[in-house]
Amino acid sequence: MDYRNLTAPCGRDCFNCYYFQARTNEQLRNMMAEKLGVASEKVPCEGCRTIKGNCQALRHYGFEGNCKTYVCTAEKEVEFCSDCSEFPCDLLHPLADKAEKFPHNLKVFNLCMIKKMGVEKWGELQAKKSWDRYYNDTIDTCF
């Protein structure tokens, strides 16, 4: 898998995203379309870098335009936010708003792990574990 291309500049692992997985999983695509109230062909996403930050998931929840973080990294010509001299910045600030739908609180952790492990090794060994932990673990497993 092309982990480098399928990881957004913010550290979002597109390859674990349901919108990306809906490209090849008809059952998931149809389930998401029904839940979102859109046609099934409007669900799949090709990944942040491919669509240049025009995030499908954000559009379904009422956000307009391209992702501000993607635009920023393109303007600064950095591959990942963690490559920027201003990392971390407020564009990566953790938010409680819609955290159950968007794993934006996972981004900085992912970026740190990418920097530590390299994107390919992180994608292969860590990203899915982090995704699963984000959605399935509870705070008491950390203490």
pLDDT at residue 98 is higher than 80: no
104: which 2 tokens? 């934006």
DSSP track, 73-132 = HHHHT-SSGGGSTT-S-GGG----TTTTT--GGGHHHHHHHHHHH-HHHHHHHTHHHHHH
Distance CA 19, CA 16 (A): 9
Q: How many residues does the chain have?
A: 143
pTM of the model: 0.86
What's the burial of 7, exposed, middle or buried (CB within 10 Å: 0-12/13-18/19+)?
Answer: buried
Please write the tens of the pLDDT for every residue from 25-82: 999 999 999 998 999 999 999 999 999 998 877 777 777 888 999 999 999 999 999 9
What is the pLDDT averaged over residues 124-137? 91
Confidence band of 142 (pLDDT split at 50, 70, 90): low
